[in-house]
Amino acid sequence: MSETTESYGPVIGIDLGTSNSLVAAVVDGEPVLIRDADGRVVVPSVLAVLPGEEHPIVGTRARNLHVIDPGRTISSVKRLIGRRADDTAVARIAEEVGFEVIAADDDWPQIAIGDATFEVVEVLAIILGRLRTIAEEFLGERINRAVITVPASFNQAQRRATRMAGTLAGLDVMRLLNEPTAAALAYGVTTDSHETVAVYDLGGGTFDLTLLELRAQVFEVRATDGDSFLGGDDIDRLVARELADRIQTRFGVEVPPIGMQRLKTVAERMKMDLSEVTETEGQVPAHWLGIIDRDEIFTVELERDTLEEMCHELIDRTFECCTRALAAASLRPESVDSVVLVGGSTRMPLIRERVAHFFGREPEQAINPETVVCIGAALHADTLDSVRRPRFEGARPSTLIDVCQHTLSIGTVGGFVEPVVPANTPLPVRRTRHFSTTRDNQDTVRLKIFEGGSKLAAQNHELGELILNDIRPMQRGAVTIATTFEVTTDGVLQITAVDVGTGQAQSSRLVVNNNS
């Protein structure tokens, strides 16, 4: 019996965000944002573990519980994905969140909530599973295939972990799609114009700048650059600290760590308000700060000018990425024809002003920065589907050419590296390097694999050690091994090794570096 459209079921696009997530699908030829049973499109990327509940809860209810009991909720977990327990970023996150981050026996971080522990990948899988359920209830069909978006700056470990989370959620991950590229797909899918587009993507936890060339439904990424630890979360944290200082100065109350978690929720709302007004205020009940003997509410004010002054350094960092991406693409800011803003933080007037000044043009106004990535993911999922094709008016299947985000290299003598796949190489790509044995009867070759743009191994991220076993015992130099780096359209590295003399594949494995 041949497989039918129904046997495949719908395909969905998922924007798995640090703060919020969305899911969409092409329905009757139109891209549609999927709503939950309460009519909400946005699903907070927050998980809560409550006594008496058999399973964790995800979404709006979990976010609301974060204010009541931060210690039983998990938020911003995407910042931990693909990071080892001894990563300095993990230490920073652990100091700033309400949940406990501990090191597991395999040196990966775990999250402890009461008596329960969760792997980071497991938490993301639970969130993805909730999005899948929402889509199934909305569409009335079983779903097992999806395109999931990731920050363009994600490294190999982060991409592999995201794909693993999708698999744990019962999804066949058709592709990991870079978030700025997804936004460009949604922006340009109905146009025949030939233009260069810059996608400025400031999300909850990451920043990316991607430059694309659009021509006749071909979307070719020219260059990308970003920071995987820079986003709206950092702005919220700055605001929360400012509010804590004002509370201490005015009311003589020192805000404890659990109070800082609650203040962050107030800070996020005030930040959003200041995109519309020039000053706002927040109300903080005394018991939120652990003060049970004072029945009062602290009112704190914040001005847009103060917020913008606090954020200048963070925003400056985004334009350092912009400058590097333009240089990699051999472009100038004035060479860009259109600028697309992505991520809720780009609603800040200061960011829009800085972007317009940098590129010499106003960013596109008709695009919703918070939903455009998910729409692009759904469109690309539909294009990848072997049965269905985009059929909405004016649209045609598009061709996407993305790039490798980071230079992939092999370690050499003297602490240097030899690049194999340079950053911004179009994907998919295969590159081969040949290595000969260096001593008689050598049966094993070990090669260190790195990710990053420096010529010095110590300044790059060590992915691990490639171990080639069962090499023919011969005189040194008599055996040559062809080692091939293949980077998929997901940006994920796969390595194979072949004995040139026999044509036989060598036993090889990449041992992940525990100190990465």
- Between CA 199 and CA 28 the distance in angstroms is 28
Give the number of other Cβ atoms within 10 Å of residue 38's Cβ.
8
Nearest to 496 by CA among 475, 476, 482: 482
Strands 297-303 and 195-202: unpaired
* Alpha-carbon span 183 to 178, nearest angstrom: 9
- Going by the DSSP 8-state scheme, the letter that residue 76 receives in this structure is S
- For residues 272 and 413, give the distance between their C-alpha atoms in angstroms, rounded to a whole number: 52
96 is catalytic: no
| C-alpha radius of gyration, the chain, whole number | 24
Active site residue 271: no
Cα distance between residue 235 and residue 240, in whole Å: 9
Q: CA angle at residue 398 from 372 to 16, to 5 degrees?
A: 35
**Active-site pick, 36, 78, 370, 402:** 78
HEC per residue, 480-503: EEEEEEEECCCCCEEEEEEECCCC
Amino acid at 150: V
Rounded-to-integer distance, Cα 77 and Cα 206, Å: 12
Catalytic residue among 36, 96, 122, 201: 201
Q: Residue 43: what residue type?
A: V
Instruction: Evaluate the CA torsion angle 191, 194, 200, 204 in order and state its sign.
Output: positive
Distance CA 243, CA 19 (A): 21
Residue tagged active-site, from 36, 119, 122, 179? 179
Q: Examine the residue annotation and report whether 276 is marked as an active-site residue of this protein.
A: no
- 78 catalytic? Reply is yes
**Active site residue ranges:** 15, 78, 179, 201
